[in-house]
Amino acid sequence: MSIFLRAFQCTLSVKYDEEILVPGQSSWYTKLFVQGYGVLRLNPSARVVFEQTNWLTLECYSKVIMDPSSMIIMESGSKFCNRGGTINGGKISINGIIRTPCNAPNPCTDNYMKDSSLIILEEDSELEIPDSTTYIFEGNETALICKDSSTIKFGKGSKLIFKDGARISANNTKFMSYDSTEAWDGIYITGDSYDTLKNCTFENAENGVNIGSSGLRPGILTTTLITNCTFNNRTNTKFSNQVYVYGNNPTLISGCNTESDLSEGFSNAVLLEYCGAGYVVITDNNFDNISCGIAAIQSSPYIARNVITGPASNGAGISLDNSNGTIEYNKIYNFENSIYCLYSSPYLLKNTFSDADEINLHLSSYSAPILKPVTSGTITRWLGGNNLFTGTPNGSAFNFSGDCAPLMDSGYNVISVSEAYYISAEISGDFNATLNNWYDDPPDPDLFETSGGRIVYEPYFDGTSLPTTDYYELNSLGFGMYDSVYVKDLTETSTVDSYFMQAYMKEMEADYSSAIIKYKYVVSDFKTTSYAPVAIARIFACLEKANSSTGAFQQIQGYYSGINSDTGNTTTVRELAEDFMIKSKVKQGMIEEAISDYNAIYQANTGNSTGVHALLNKACLEHMLTFGDNMSGSTSGYSEHKAKLLSLLLGKEIKNNHISINNTIPGNFKLYQNYPNPFNPVTSIKYDIPKDNFVNVRIYDLLGREVFSSGEFKKAGSYEVKFDGTNFASGMYFYSLESGSFRETKKMVLIK
């Protein structure tokens, strides 16, 4: 039987602390009100149908309790107002345009759907959600199902939260604000469920789609598909992100695009935070009107075939902090840095990095990306290489500090920049960059700006005659997707390449324990090669892909500790090992200890990129410690957290999603007197630069011998370099600042 509420009938009001049972026989009412603490209970198979202009109103703390077989049907023209009630079980089917007469002030704006309740938005139907209202879906069987051509209109600041396994399934649905000048908050998804958002439009969502789990619990996974969706910003205010993912969440973001009338409609397209290796796939998207394209912190995504376009002279197309993974076939245009890496060693294959304002590939703090094919025995596999760097950057195509070790020899990369350096780098000894193309024929040696060594670039690649390949292999990415790796049979062998590739093949075969053994062999027996830093990162990636236990991460923490303390390893390997040692603590739930570790790193590295890395991770872990994977409360903490991360990534201050450059940019170059002076044994050297430029700080003894050098591309601002004279003799030293045509030298005295 059904209850039909038709016009011109009476009103039923369920009063305070009263329970009314709908047994299944027919009754007619114009309006059904469930007041505070009142309960409306539907028996099995009972149906309540609201037609025409009839109302269903749930007041704060009221309840509707339904058997799984019972249903409430809202027909077109009816009105549904949930002012803080809870719906337990059953189904609510919305069929047509449903209005929400909830304009009166309401002290209870959280609305709960629990205990396997289903909200079904039928085809061509529309639901309104008032200002500052939160719909919270809770429980493994609870869901919002939005069918083809349905619409949800949100009031200012409203949002949807899915937690504890509740899910959302939407196809060709429009999520939008009902006032085109205002923004709604966004969609927040946590817990163990399978969520799908296909062919949807998200218009004026300030925080977009947010997906998360703590990441502290190995074995706890969620899966979300976001495919062929559009993110619009029709307001005059910059929004935070389109998609934000944190923790171990298998997530596919594919075929999506951005629309905005603003040149920077979004601070970020995709922001990843502590996402394990093999969990996130970002493919075939068109991200535009953004300050920063894809930013990954302690994550290893697969990023392929995306077109990422930003405003000139701002942000980074891809920004990585201790993030590895594979980045291939992407086209990145119009950022300050096309790609920026801290502590990161990704595979870079056949990407186009174009029209960077300053640097196409900017490496800092122990980064070792692979920009070359790798040989094992007689087989060469194209894991990296043949990237195109083009445009007229003010700085250079490549910039890397002395602690970085990019693998680009025999890489067949094309460096086609004009009016710029090919490479600006601080190196030690010879750096092998053979078989790459350098725009000029022959390459101009003056366009290799280096300190401490030289670039070996001959023989060089002609830019067109790539080696042929014989076949390709398919590596599974999950989600029914595969990565094609092109292969060539050769007759020559390369020992370290061969061992690294053996480890890589075991990793691709999902034989993670064997892969780890082989990667460890690369680290121990080829300590000084550029493969050792990459192998350090791949070991941790294998543990993440295997969804390893906390015990496994405890063991690997000990391994990394031993690598860090072994002075026979390079500084790059030791520093990376230290970072993965801290990350291993995170996997064991030792968050406070990890925060303390990163704080110590920051205190020792204020004013440099390692300090920025430490601050980024400290911020991530502090947020993780406070919020975990709980999105049922205020989500404002997430907005503030994302803004803080982006401010560090962009080197700017962000407030309320508006970016403003800090107004303390110096007006002139200046080198300050070191402090303390005299010193024993550590002193600080501060300097100002009024514009973005490559900067060298050098220290010489009385005989003019260089005893210290720090060279790096810096944004306009004030900086500080620490000099430790522990291993130097007492006496007078000279220190200089060199940037472009500016040079200044001062004296300082070391007294022991």
Closest CA to 506 of 480, 532, 484, 535: 535
Tell me the average pLDDT of the chain: 85
**Over 60: is that where the pLDDT of 18 sits?**
no
Which two structure tokens, joined as six digits, stand for 356?
């960077």
Instruction: Note the CATH architecture for domain 670-750.
Output: Sandwich (2.60)
pLDDT at residue 100 in the model: 67
Which two structure tokens, joined as six digits, stand for 314?
């701002």
Angle at the Cα of 47 from the Cα atoms of 44 and 52, rounded to 5 degrees: 170
Lowest-confidence region among 15-19, 27-31, 184-188, 737-741: 15-19
pLDDT at residue 185 in the model: 94
Q: To the nearest whole percent, how much of the chain has pLDDT over 70?
A: 89
Lowest-confidence region among 144-153, 207-216, 447-456: 207-216
Most trustworthy range by pLDDT among 130-144, 317-331, 663-677 = 317-331
Determine the Cα–Cα distance for residues 469 and 488; give it in Å rounded to an integer: 5
SS3 state of residue 473 = strand
| Residue 503, CB-side half-sphere exposure with 13 Å CA sphere | 27
**Over 70: is that where the pLDDT of 99 sits?**
no
Lowest-confidence region among 146-155, 460-469, 618-627, 710-719: 710-719
Q: What is the 3-state secondary structure (H, E, C) of 395-438?
A: CEEEEECCCCCCECCCCCCEEEECCCEEEEEEEEEEEECCCCEC
Q: What is the DSSP letter of 446?
A: G
pLDDT at residue 293 in the model: 95
Which two structure tokens, joined as six digits, stand for 160?
């949807």
Q: Could you report the per-residue pLDDT of 391-417, keeping only the tens digit for each?
A: 999 889 999 988 888 999 999 999 999
Which two structure tokens, joined as six digits, stand for 173?
């649905």
> What is the residue type of 429?
G
Most trustworthy range by pLDDT among 209-218, 325-334, 373-382, 487-496 = 325-334
**Over 80: is that where the pLDDT of 252 sits?**
yes
pLDDT at residue 656 in the model: 35
Measured from the Cβ of residue 230, the count of other Cβ atoms closer than 10 Å reads 17
CATH of 510-660, picked from 2.60.220, 1.20.1300, 2.60.120, 1.25.40, is 1.25.40
Lowest-confidence region among 64-68, 216-220, 449-453, 517-521: 216-220
Same fold, 510-660 and 670-750: no
Q: Which residues contact 720 (CB under 8 A, 6 or more apart)?
A: 606, 607, 684, 685, 686, 687
- pLDDT band at residue 11 under the 50/70/90 scheme: very low
**Over 80: is that where the pLDDT of 150 sits?**
yes
**Over 70: is that where the pLDDT of 222 sits?**
no
Q: Could you report the per-residue pLDDT of 692-736, keeping only the tens digit for each?
A: 777 889 899 988 888 888 877 677 788 888 888 988 999 999 999
- pLDDT band at residue 154 under the 50/70/90 scheme: very high
pLDDT at residue 123 in the model: 94
Determine the Cα–Cα distance for residues 296 and 655; give it in Å rounded to an integer: 21
**Over 90: is that where the pLDDT of 62 sits?**
no
pLDDT at residue 659 in the model: 33
Listed by start position, the domains of the chain span 1-118, 312-493, 510-660, 670-750
Lowest-confidence region among 292-301, 442-451, 625-634: 625-634
Determine the Cα–Cα distance for residues 82 and 96; give it in Å rounded to an integer: 18
Q: Which residues contact 362 (CB under 8 A, 6 or more apart)?
A: 316, 337, 339, 340, 341, 399, 400, 713
pLDDT at residue 225 in the model: 94
What pTM value is reported for the model?
A: 0.83
**Over 90: is that where the pLDDT of 386 sits?**
yes
Q: Can you tell me the mean pLDDT for 124-144?
A: 89
Q: To the nearest whole percent, how much of the chain has pLDDT over 90?
A: 47
Q: Could you report the per-residue pLDDT of 541-591, keeping only the tens digit for each?
A: 999 999 899 999 999 999 999 999 999 999 999 999 999 999 999 999 999
Residue pointed to by tokens 């998207």? 285
Q: Could you report the per-residue pLDDT of 309-358, keeping only the tens digit for each?
A: 998 777 899 999 999 999 999 999 999 999 999 999 999 999 999 999 99
Q: Which residues contact 699 (CB under 8 A, 6 or more apart)?
A: 706, 707, 708, 709, 723, 733, 734, 735, 736
**Over 70: is that where the pLDDT of 751 sits?**
yes
From residue 352, how far is each of 287, 332, 436 by CA, in Å? Answer: 15, 6, 15
Determine the Cα–Cα distance for residues 556 and 512; give it in Å rounded to an integer: 14
pLDDT at residue 377 in the model: 66
Determine the Cα–Cα distance for residues 177 and 199; give it in Å rounded to an integer: 18
pLDDT at residue 19 in the model: 52
- pLDDT band at residue 629 under the 50/70/90 scheme: low
pLDDT at residue 588 in the model: 92
